[in-house]
Amino acid sequence: MVITDFLERNARLWGNDTALVEMNPSEDRDRAVTWREARLIEQAGAGTPYRREMSWADFDRRANRFANLLLSRGVERGTKVGILMTNCLEFLPLYFGILKAGCIVVPLNYRYSGDEIAYCLDLADVEYLIFGPEFVSRLLSVLPSLTRVKTFFYVGQDRPSFAEDCLRMMSFCSASAPPVYFDEDDLAAIYFSSGTTGFPKAILHCHKALVHSCYTEQNHHLQTKDDVFLCIPPLYHTGAKMHWFGSLLTGGKAVILRGTKPEWILRAVTEEKCTIVWLLVPWAQDILDAIDSGRIDLSHYLLDQWRLMHIGAQPVPPSLILRWMKVFPHHKYDTNYGLSESLGPGCVHLGLDHLDKVGAIGQPGFGWQAKIIDENGVPTPHGEVGELAVKGPGVMLEYYKNPEATAEILHDGWLWTGDMAREDEDGFIWLVDRKKDVIITGGENLYPVQIEDFLRANDKIKDVAVIGIPDARLGEIAAAVIELKEGCTATEAEINEFCLDLPKYKRPRRIIFEPVPRNATGKIEKPVLRQKYCHGRLVEVQILS
């Protein structure tokens, strides 16, 4: 079985049912339209409608049309085709069209600079690129270096001269499935690492891994045909797409929300009757803060059908979930752990009935194994901190064109994640920190996540990042970058007093008040902070007693 089989089955069994909805809350039009009506609105220059939808049959037809367009251009099995687009209704049909043509799909981070786009296209050997209007200027800045790309397909208005109108060209192509045959061991996708430690690496996966992600997601969150999944994170990333795979497997509706404001999220849940919502930590915090401040009145929304809220992509503060459950006591909750090298979320997860273990990332997911190891790969004694290693059908094949980096993290089928963790007496895994983020101060190991979780319990703190900065005496000390909630003020002295309940060696030695930078998948960009506060110099700090 290959991943495209699910789409073809859904089109056959539930062709007229809604597969995808795109919501654009910033638009003031409230009329729901089909994809074809929306296309006419855009062609007339009237902008993007508030809501667009697509049936399973139309989804499959559009994937077939794009596959046939690619085949008409001479693509072969294994040709790499890139997607550089923000979340929209077109994204997934184009993604599946690439797969149906027997090609390898290469989604690109929409926050990449022009140089990063050029680097990734070259690294992944991309020969065809689909892109949207947001990226014209970035591509123009590096166009002379993109010699490998044979054709640029454009989706949107005001097509640039160097590209073809993708949707117009598709309209001339057959909507029937192309005569291309492949199996679960064929190559399917290249995803990129988050790039928080430098230029990203290209991660190669096969169809078997994609298929297993469907079963993992449905097994963990028990989706049925009646569930409606609200998708907010970027579709270029493994997280959003692999959570949506539960809807693909069951034939359920998914809503792609273009925006993250708390009011927009709750409006989408209300209007589309969403039952499952995957949030990143900052968005969950924003929703609770808006409720606490009175900006949002929950009585204005219809939320009874919302049964599951789950979070992943970064360590989750237990205080946040306990706070969430007080506001939404009927919700089931799950934490999902994964990385692009393990094809996104699900290799470890908390489970729906383990609120007593909030703070843990959980136990091995469906079809997965996990263990805690030392630097030599030997399992650590029970309860001790070591590196988390996972094994399962979603482990990457390799870092594309990088055998040295591949050999560093793949060992006899086990993926060494680079995350430090421990296992408790009940077999639940607790993430301690990234291996590279551990701070060594005066010979003691500090795990920033532990300090961050402690600080987030302060009612004035919205977000926090702890990094190590150089110190002539101790080697490194912990510095806390603190983002306060809107309308709140605090002083260093207040934070220092709050930290008196921490062991002395764990207390931050420097307090910095400024916004905490996060990438599109919600991960704290600690290299940005290290560059700002550590690069090339020792930092003057106030040593606290």
Compute the residue count for the chain: 545
pLDDT of 13 strictly over 90: yes
**How far apart, in Å, do the first and last CA atoms of the chain sit?**
63
Reported as a single tens digit per residue, the pLDDT across 318-332 is 888 889 999 999 999
| pLDDT band for position 435 (cuts 50, 70, 90) | low
Contact call for residues 420 and 350 (beta carbons, < 8 A): no
pLDDT tens string 359-412: 889 999 999 999 999 989 999 988 898 999 999 999 999 999 999 999 999 999
Who wins on pLDDT, 490 or 26? 490
pLDDT (tens digit, 9 = 90+) per residue, 166-221? Answer: 999 999 999 999 999 999 999 999 999 865 445 789 999 999 999 999 999 999 99
Q: What is the CATH number of domain 3-15+23-208?
A: 3.40.50.12780
312 neighbors 242 (Cβ within 8 angstroms): no
Pairing of strands 276-279, 228-231: parallel
Quick: pLDDT tens for 138-158: 999 999 999 999 999 999 999
pLDDT, residue 311, reads 86
Which CATH number is 438-534's, of 3.30.70.3270, 3.30.1490.190, 3.30.300.30, 2.60.120.10? 3.30.300.30
| Portion of the chain with pLDDT greater than 90, in percent | 64
Asked whether 63 and 180 are in contact (CB, 8 A), the reply is no
Reply yes or no on whether the pLDDT at 6 is more than 50.
Answer: yes
Per-domain residue ranges of the chain: 3-15+23-208, 438-534
pLDDT at residue 388, rounded to an integer: 94
What is the per-residue pLDDT for 314? 64
Q: Which helix (H) or strand (E) holds 352?
A: none
pLDDT confidence tier of residue 442, bands split at 50, 70 and 90: low
pLDDT score recorded for residue 33: 45
Q: How many angstroms separate the CA atoms of 188 and 205, rounded?
A: 6
The confidence score (pLDDT) of residue 328 equals: 96
Instruction: Record the pTM.
Output: 0.82
The predicted structure's pLDDT at residue 32? 46
| pLDDT, position 231 | 94
